[in-house]
Amino acid sequence: MPTIAAQPYEYAFPAGKLALVVIDMQRDFIEEGGFGSVLGNDVAPLARIVPTVRRLLDGFRAAGLPVIHTREGHVPDLSDCPPSKRARGRGSLTIGDAGPMGRILVDGEPGNDLVPDLAALPGETVILKPGKGAFYATPLDALLKRLGVNHLVFAGVTTEVCVQTTMREANDRGYECLLAEDATESYFPEFKAATLAMIRAQGGIVGWTAPTDAVVRALA
């Protein structure tokens, strides 16, 4: 089987049976004026990974392997958003409120779109997820089973919230998961570092991590 140079040891995957899952590379989290910056975060670190995520996307596309994008968002009437989720943060704006890029985390609003450089191509799946994890209340598990894919590479934001949650959900379902270290980011550098350490601890209790270059080399 092909392998990727990874931590804590080589990651092996069946040829042609590897998918890329790009988590929540949305304008609301990555651009100035989006929800992330409205909450007081510096979005620049997240914006800086866009070219790296694009390189990873290009590698999977060139290899003819499945690419899946997710967006965190809710239907316009917020019927899929628990009141407890809206109440958290106690900022001036919250989910559903009108922000600089339209209603925050609402499907169909400009801020909920993927950043233009990472837009999905025709034939690529985009999953709208109402929670942090991409398996909750979505067709992701059924889609992967239909594709016959059990090995996943992850990228996206934020490392310690939606990315890690999805990887843990996938791990519990028996998927073999690798996180591209430089194609993920957090508003808090120490949170990213801790998450990478947790994922690969104890012999890869949640999965593997590797730089994007190592992944792209293996695909080529």
Q: Is the pTM of this model over 0.85?
A: yes
Q: What pLDDT does 96 receive?
A: 95
**High-pLDDT (> 90) share of the chain, %:** 94
pLDDT single digits (tens) 105-114:
999 999 999 9
- What long-range pairs does 57-63 form, CB within 8 A, spacing at least 24? 57/20, 57/22, 57/118, 59/215, 59/216, 59/219, 59/220, 60/18, 60/19, 60/20, 60/153, 60/219, 61/121, 62/219, 62/220, 63/219, 63/220
Size of the chain, expressed as the number of residues it contains = 220
Res. 143: pLDDT tops 90: yes
Residue 208's DSSP bridge partners are 178
Three-state SS for 5-17 is CCECCCEECCCCC
Cα distance between residue 134 and residue 175, in whole Å? 13
Give the model's pLDDT for residue 218: 98
Q: Burial, 7: exposed, middle or buried (Cβ in 10 Å; 0-12, 13-18, 19+)?
A: middle
Residue 197 has pLDDT above 90, yes or no: yes
- Residues with active-site annotation: 24, 129, 162
Mean pLDDT lowest among 14-23, 88-97, 186-195: 88-97
Which has more pLDDT, 87 or 67? 67
Indicate if the pLDDT at residue 166 is higher than 80.
yes
pLDDT, residue 93, reads: 87
Give yes or no for a contact between 6 and 209, defined as CB atoms under 8 angstroms apart.
yes
What is the per-residue pLDDT across 31-66, written as a single tens digit (0 to 9) for each?
998 999 988 999 999 999 999 999 999 999 999 999
- Look at residue 92 in the predicted model and tell me its pLDDT: 79
Task: Give the chain's radius of gyration (CA, Å).
Answer: 17
Would you say residue 90 has pLDDT above 90? no
Average pLDDT of the chain to the nearest whole number: 96
